[in-house]
Amino acid sequence: MSESIKIKNALISVYYKDGLAPLVQYLAQQGVTLFSTGGTEQFIKDLNLPVTAVEDLTGYPSILGGRVKTLHPKVFGGILNRRGLAGDQEQIAQYEIPEIDLVIVDLYPFEETVKSGGTAEEIIEKIDIGGISLIRAAAKNFNDVVIIASKADYGTLLQELQEQDGATTLAQRKSYAKKAFHTSSHYDTAIFNYFNTEEPLNVFKQSVNQSQTLRYGENPHQQGTFYGNLDEMFTKLNGKELSYNNLVDVDAAVSLIDEFTEPTFAILKHTNACGVASRATVLAAWTAALACDPVSAFGGVLITNQEVDLATATEINNLFFEVLIAPSYQPEAVELFKAKKNRVILQRNEVELSSKQFKTLLNGVIEQDKDLSLEGADQMTVVTEKAPSEASIKDLIFANKIVKHTKSNTIVFVKDNVLLASGVGQTSRVDALKQAVIKADSFGFSLIDAVMASDAFFPFPDCVELAAEAGIIAVLQPGGSIKDQDSIAMANQKGIAMVTTGVRHFKH
């Protein structure tokens, strides 16, 4: 096993050729024999560099519409032969197989074709066979062969070769092999997940190409990493890098705001909404949302589904906050926010989000469908003698949107499309209700003519009784308790309306 190997022969066959020219030119200057196929061969010829067609090496043309080009012993023998094994060397000499020291290969754009809505036939044709085989062969034989499976490594390899007189070290080859196996495993995962949609196999496979090291995890003593492409999701207009906790809150904020179509502002703290309001303008929505709980709003994550203008930005600027998210901003608003360099200002881009969610648990992973259900008036069944008014129904729908995105056990109070108060993350539902009543009172909100939503059924009538006594006139709950009738009877006794939806919205 040699530590340093100088490249004598190279096989180059790539789909993406941008950035390839300087590396190929250097190899040719070093006297490296270049083998290539199809478009890459023509690319090298256009650089006025000598190149040998793989067909001339194997004695076979490209066949089956290009499906078979490099699958031949003279190619794979050249890659897989072990330089330190006498038997291998005798055989490659016997069959006149050149030692291939460098393989530069990428893969057909399978994921891109799926994402762009390609036909089934187009997608299948983007399943690479020769390329994936070349990558695996060269990576397996990293003791003697360099494998470059991504255009991102062209420049790095060129610099190493220039510094080392055309040679590579074992450590470098092993590092490239690691990257190559990531490329092949990611590619195969994408193909498997494409096929695993109808009658899916009960297995869990995910692969994410990009990552970002976070300052730390949930606490400073924990390491944190985000796997994904934040730049695709957001354009950062100002501020420091997002932290682990920022990202968790941002995810919750995006999920909540996507429930609303009318101009809406939401303020979140530790993934729970402490202020939500829908109004005719973004400024009015901000003002109403902030009034819900200006204390908790301090240091929160803010999100709206409308453009932030200068007038709204001027009001927001009076509050210390961590992150602000909007689909767009007036330029003057951005300039105002930039006065404080650490505040994160994100412009949200149109990105299709996954309908699945998963997390590690115990010695494995749990996965589920996202809770995409949202019940409107048509899904509400009036179960009391009194029916809610049209205004109350609108508020119940609004409250249900919020309760769906709040930690269980939760109770939400709403009036006129504004969150008045909520009780979140309590171990009993009545405690959640009491917390919400206390919070509404602390900020001077009257619950007279307000509505209440619960994420799950009432096991006892006490919640309904306390809510009615606080002024609530309509209640939404999923129903399903063996004691539903007790809560319904209490609502009738207190003269308030109750609707059931049949859909529970636990959030743990």
A 10 A CB-CB count for 226 gives 17
Measure the CA–CA gap between 47 and 8, rounded to whole angstroms.
Answer: 20
Cβ proximity of 309 and 285 under 8 Å: no
Measure the CA–CA gap between 448 and 415, rounded to whole angstroms.
Answer: 9
Matching residue, tokens 């040699």: 2
Select which of 151, 182, 236, 270 is catalytic. 270
Within 13 Å of residue 78, how many CA atoms lie on the same side as its CB?
25
Token code pair at residue 178: 């690691």
Cβ proximity of 408 and 507 under 8 Å: yes
Residue 429: what residue type? Answer: R
Q: Which of 170, 128, 111, 173 is nearest to 15 (CA)?
A: 128
Cβ proximity of 463 and 433 under 8 Å: yes
Is 270 a residue of the active site? yes
What region does 302 belong to: left with phi over 0, alpha with psi -120 to 50, or beta?
A: beta
Strand partners, 476: 453, 499
Residue 283: what residue type? Answer: L
Measure the CA–CA gap between 235 and 232, rounded to whole angstroms.
Answer: 8
Q: What is the CA radius of gyration of the chain?
A: 31
Q: Under DSSP, is residue 8 helix (H, G, I), strand (E, B) or coil?
A: coil
Measure the CA–CA gap between 18 and 20, rounded to whole angstroms.
Answer: 6
Select which of 140, 179, 182, 236 is catalytic. 140
Residue 472: what residue type? Answer: I
Beta strands at 497-500 and 381-382: parallel, antiparallel or unpaired: antiparallel
What region does 376 belong to: left with phi over 0, alpha with psi -120 to 50, or beta?
A: beta
Token code pair at residue 194: 């494409």
Secondary structure letter of residue 317 according to DSSP: T
Token code pair at residue 55: 């067909």
Token code pair at residue 182: 């990531």
How would you class 360 by CB atoms within 10 Å of its CB: exposed for 0-12, middle for 13-18, buried for 19 or more?
exposed
Residue ranges in 95-169 assigned as alpha helix (H):
110-115, 120-125, 130-140, 154-163
Token code pair at residue 395: 């508020």
**DSSP string across 7-21:** --EEEEE-S--TT-H
Catalytic residues: 140, 270
